[in-house]
Amino acid sequence: MRIPINLASEPFRRDRPALVASIAGCAALTILLAVLVTTIISARNMAGSARETIAKLNEQIAHTQTEQAKFDGTLRRPENAEVLERSLMLNALIQRKSISWTRIFADLEKVTPYNVRLIYIRLPQVNAENQVTLDMVVGAQGTEPLQDFLKKLEGSPMFGPPSVSTYLPPSQNEPLYRYRVNVSYAQKL
């Protein structure tokens, strides 16, 4: 009978590869920790500078708003009411005069087919966002040229998508198909 006897107080184990791997892992984690700490510190500093910039801009906005309120208060006084009304009227006239009819007709000429007639065009309307809207009536012998005109309007960079508000077939007095078209116009005011 054999009895295994180990005379050593601790048996031999292969711990060296495990120790080397754990030391390498600890070193990698320490380097990663240092990189993360530096990233966090730099991000905090950048956020602080962004907060300072935002605070300065908010101060400028508040200062501008107080100045605007002061100017509005001056304009709203009863003794300045006549000047305010006159300036508003003059601004409206200037805005209306800033629309170039020559340019409108030149841009319409580029997209209008030869067999489509511009019957009439109303005074262009300007909304609060300074967008110009054209209201016009066009006519043609058939509907195909009018459809072609609408497609060219829609494809043009100077005009927005057209909307046809009314359609009139030919009659005894008017031998043309007539479309009333509303379209936005991209003229800079």
pLDDT, one tens digit per residue, over 3-41 is: 766 666 666 667 788 899 999 999 999 999 999 999 999
Which pTM value belongs to this model? 0.53
d(CA 98, CA 90) in angstroms, rounded, equals 12
Q: Are 151 and 145 in contact (CB under 8 A)?
A: no
Which burial class, exposed, middle or buried, applies to 116 when counting CB atoms under 10 A from its CB (0-12, 13-18, 19+)?
buried
d(CA 17, CA 6) in angstroms, rounded, equals 24
d(CA 162, CA 180) in angstroms, rounded, equals 10
* CA 156 to centroid of chain Cα atoms: 20
pLDDT (mean) for 170-184: 90
Q: What pLDDT sits at residue 17?
A: 86
d(CA 132, CA 152) in angstroms, rounded, equals 18
Mean pLDDT value across the chain: 87
- The pLDDT of residue 188 is above 70: no
Lowest mean per-residue pLDDT among 2-16, 55-69, 75-89, 173-187:
2-16
Q: What is the b/e burial string over 21-59, where b = at least 16 CB atoms within 10 angstroms of the residue's CB?
A: eeeeeeeeeeeeeeeeeeeeeeeeeeeeeeeeeeeeeee
pLDDT (mean) for 106-132: 86
